Amino acid sequence: MADYKGIKGFNVQSLATDPLPAGVAGAAWSSGGSMSSTRAIFGDAGTQTAGLVFGGTAGSGHTNVTEEYNGTAWTGGGNLGTSRYQLAGCGTQTAGLGFGGYVSPGSFKVATEEYNGTAWTNGGDMTTARANLGAAGLQTAALAFAGLTAGGVSNATEEYNGSSWTNGGNIGTAKTNVAGAGIQTAGLMFGGLVPPSSAQNNTQEYNGTSWTDGGNMNTARQQLAGCGLQTLALAFGGAVPALKAETEAYNGTSWTEVADLSTARRFLGGAGTQTAALGFGGYTPPMTAATEEFTAATIDDTIRNEGQVYYNTTTNLLKLTSTVFGATPTGVWSSGGNMNVGRGTAAGAGTQTAGIVMGGSSVSPSLAKNVLTELYNGSAWTEVNDLNTAKVNSSSAKNSPNTSTLNYAGDGPGTYSNTNESWNGTSWTEVADLNLPGNAAAGFGNSNTSAVRAGGQSPASPPGGPHSSITEVYNGTAWTEVNNMNTGRRSMNGLGIATAGLVIGGDLDPPNASNLVESWNGTSWSEIAEINTGGSSRMTAGIQTLGLTFGGDTPSKTANTEFWNGSSWTEINNLAVARGRSVGAGDTSFALCSGGDTASGTVVNTEEFSVSESISNVTVASS
């Protein structure tokens, strides 16, 4: 019988090099829009598509000018109240924080200012006036560390609660010109200068109380920039004293060199995440207004899911990339890193190497709601900023990255919530509410501006009822009710993007584990091939035409895993641990199953589903 490629055929591409690895390993810097003016030694905050720069030196003196980046161009914002340079910053474009700094001659600053996206207002003064310090966190939960004071180099740490600063744990060695990343309770400090020594390569991690050593950078440097999280950080630029272009990525244990900046520079700004960063300004010399964007690499789905034949013009070899599917994936589940807090009925999104879990219940079988958010880097989970509202049985934009997702509906402080929160990679912001409160609905979508909520349980009747068929879609501004599902149910899961998704399994009314599957085309629902093992709270991964479902309550806990090829479901290798109400993420080559409820209670363990991939030479057998 002919195989898939024999029936479909394939194109042969001509490539000068092998395809880059996905993620930060294959990332690259590219040119962005230049700032309105050249400057260096300023405060910074925000993301790659919503950056913020303020203060600094713009020639021979200091400035109070603020600029905002929209992913393409910089425009003017509200001026700082206190003009200064060598200050620090953190937070977001619409909730930024600037503190410390220096004004010549000899004036170190304690002033703190808060930005609301339009104007700066005074916050609480720092305990210690200082400049060239490091920063991490948010406007309401910031961290300031190291730097230079009138008395010399500092080892002090201060924590900001949105109104005042208090002392935190001291650094083991006083230093200045450091870079920072992370949040107040999981901060990161790297590089810097310990006068009169040369530039440093050491890293320290903060747990909300004290600093401990992390892995050393490959290149020692000071006056560098950084961004990201404690376990997913990026360091770039700086000086040794020679100017540096090197970029390094941190995984919570060690640093790896990745793509260089196009222009080596020091005293530059940094914003964003490890896979979507922004580098801007600084000394080259002279001072520059240039902006660069660091973007993680992706691999075309045809390479990952079907294989690719190409001619490598460098080696003069015909090559084949292949994923070992056969008729169905030959992948297996293996152990990943444990979550910090075990929980069921949580929501999540992302990929196997960049996952996110939010909310849920850390007590089984009761539904004690929590606000916890954790990020996964492929080996370990890190607690980051909490949801604003504690929830269980909430939904998420399932196929979105862990830097840009949504959490919506669920059981809130009372029951049947319609709240919606947007995650920007650092913090949660409440945005437009759903039209109808509800819980245990299926959610899917591809970003924090594009999502679907389907079914669940709702107090509305008609057309909802105990088990709803309601569908709402989100466009980044508002939720709109659209065509209902064919069959109302709750405790099912979805996969796909906002215009092409699936909803799988669930509970019917009266309670009965369902094996129904419905397909969404952006306008309407249609029933398609059923899963082999019906159940509620089944986890999912993948897209509309290539998916996985695993675990769930059938009504007993199951380890069953099934693969969807776009037309039928096939049972494949089971999970190691039978569970329901956990979180699924990823795709059919690399999936993630995190936490959940087992027969004996809530668990913290994570499992990873992986299908082997290879690049091999194509040879012709001699006759």
- Taking residue 53's Cβ as centre, other Cβ atoms within 10 Å add up to 29
Say yes or no to pLDDT of 310 above 60: yes
**CATH fourth-level superfamily of 23-297:** Kelch-type beta propeller (2.120.10.80)
Tens-place pLDDT, residues 284-304: 999 999 999 999 875 443 333
The one-letter amino acid code at 35 reads M
Phi and psi torsions of 181, nearest 5° = -155, 170
Confidence at 517, pLDDT banded by 50, 70, 90: very high
Which whole number is the average pLDDT over 439-452?
A: 93
Tens-place pLDDT, residues 126-175: 999 999 999 999 998 999 999 999 999 999 999 999 999 999 999 999 99
Say yes or no to pLDDT of 276 above 60: yes
Lowest-confidence segment of 72-81, 89-98, 414-423 by average pLDDT: 414-423
Say yes or no to pLDDT of 17 above 80: no
Q: Report in angstroms the alpha-carbon separations of 323 from 14, 351, 368.
A: 20, 18, 42
User: What is the pTM (predicted TM-score) of this model?
Assistant: 0.63
Q: Domains of the chain: which residue ranges?
A: 23-297, 332-613
Q: Are 123 and 114 in contact (CB under 8 A)?
A: yes
Say yes or no to pLDDT of 383 above 50: yes
| 3-state SS, residue 302 | helix
Query: What span, in angstroms and rounded, lies between the C-alpha atoms of 259 and 125?
Result: 39
Beta strand extents in 449-599 (DSSP E only): 450-456, 468-474, 479-482, 493-497, 500-504, 507-508, 512-513, 517-520, 525-527, 539-543, 546-550, 561-564, 569-572, 583-586, 590-594, 597-598
Q: Are 469 and 453 in contact (CB under 8 A)?
A: no
Which whole number is the average pLDDT over 549-567?
A: 93
Q: Name the CA radius of gyration of the chain, rounded.
A: 25
Confidence at 20, pLDDT banded by 50, 70, 90: low
- Residue 226's nearest CA partner among 45, 17, 433, 52 is 45
Say yes or no to pLDDT of 111 above 90: yes
Q: Tokens standing for 510?
A: 């009266």
Q: Give the architecture (CATH level 2) of 332-613.
A: 6 Propeller (2.120)
Q: When comparing pLDDT for 369 and 478, which is higher?
A: 478
Return the percentage of the chain with pLDDT > 70, whole number: 88
Lowest-confidence segment of 127-136, 510-519, 552-561, 588-597 by average pLDDT: 510-519
Instruction: Give pLDDT, residue 362.
Output: 76
216: CB partners within 8 A, 6+ apart = 201, 202, 203, 255
Which whole number is the average pLDDT over 43-54?
A: 95
Q: Are 575 and 559 in contact (CB under 8 A)?
A: yes
Instruction: Give pLDDT, residue 298.
Output: 58
Torsion of CA 588, 592, 596, 601, to 10 degrees: 110
Mean pLDDT of all residues belonging to the chain:
88
Question: Fold identical between 23-297 and 332-613?
Answer: yes
Which whole number is the average pLDDT over 112-128?
A: 97
